[in-house]
Structure 1
């Protein structure tokens, strides 16, 4: 199958799954325990840290909290992307994402996310308020979040605004993976409420 046709088919299936809330993958409960979900491989900095700990076990080290580290990484990617867009004279285009326990009921967090985007001077794209009703599943099992990634990958939006990082996932390993995916597609994640108290608002 030609690559362009395969991309179009993937986009069509993602859009259909979002509209009708179809699960595109088996639920996590059906996954075999012998085949755990893959996680991101350790970065070269992590490898160097492990080596240093092995050869110098007596050194005093302070390991940063994972949520603090992820918050710093997210804000750095956000600032870098905004700088790039500003240099090209572009106003960032964003979509809004939220979880809702009630089908077809717009989440109240959309209002807070929209206010945040407007305060930043970003443009909220029409019809790009995306909600999922599957809060306890892996983000990649949610049609709405997959549609967010598709919009970023296709260049229809530059980023996504959501209320907190728990709207994406409560599990930090999964959160890190989704940040990597958005960054890989050239987008950014902006939070109304930062990951940790006292962090820079973005």
Structure 2
């Protein structure tokens, strides 16, 4: 079906093509991975450990965002790292891979000090769906998860 669509797009360049919203697909990917990782960690008799990540706006410390991340972790009985596992970046840096704080989150995951990260919204990771998806895949490959306090789609699921 996708191949047919590509051929149609190539042979009918004047036709208007509507792209599906990637939000629901990405939310499902994130939720499924989160549930799998948490179940695996708990099956090993461990409590999932999480980092908190937020963006600073105009240099202000994101207390509310970090408190909301902590509250979500506590509700789910996850272990919240202290100040040493709380990371922030200035709002405005585009690619997550170029942000110091986000790279430190990845280092915590890579080193095995955390099983996931909690953010307030998906846009904190990246407002671009392709970058956000790449980050979800990065976490999935490392058996780690991304949890979102205020998901933009599929309300009621983590």
- What range is the shorter-chain TM-score in? 0.7 to 0.9
Number of residue pairs the alignment of both structures matches: 149
Query: 2:138: which partner in 1?
Result: 181
Please give the residue correspondences for 1:22-37 in structure 2 after superposition, counting only pairs within 5 Å: none
Change (3 A) 1:97 1:55: closer
Unmatched 5+ stretches in structure 1: 1-48
CA RMSD after TM alignment? 2.2
Of residues 90, 104, 108 in structure 2, which corresponds to 1:147?
104
2:123 and 2:43 map into 1 onto residues whose CA distance is 32
Query: 1:100: which partner in 2?
Result: 56
Query: 2:12: which partner in 1?
Result: none
Q: TM-score, normalised by structure 1?
A: 0.67
Partners of 1:163 and 1:191 within 8 A in 2: yes
The structural deviation recorded for 1:168 is 0.6
Bigger Rg over Cα:
1
Partners of 2:31 and 2:157 within 8 A in 1: no
Q: Which moved more, 1:129-138 or 1:91-100?
A: 129-138
Q: TM-score, normalised by structure 2?
A: 0.85
Kindly report structure 1 stretches of 4+ aligned residues shifted beyond 3 Å.
Answer: 52-57
2:107 and 2:57 map into 1 onto residues whose CA distance is 23
Query: 2:124: which partner in 1?
Result: 167
1:83 and 1:101 map into 2 onto residues whose CA distance is 35
Give the secondary-structure state (helix, strand or coil) at the position aligned to 2:80.
strand
The structural deviation recorded for 1:87 is 1.1
Query: 2:22: which partner in 1?
Result: 66
1:102 and 1:53 map into 2 onto residues whose CA distance is 45
Unmatched 5+ stretches in structure 2: 10-17
Partners of 1:153 and 1:186 within 8 A in 2: no
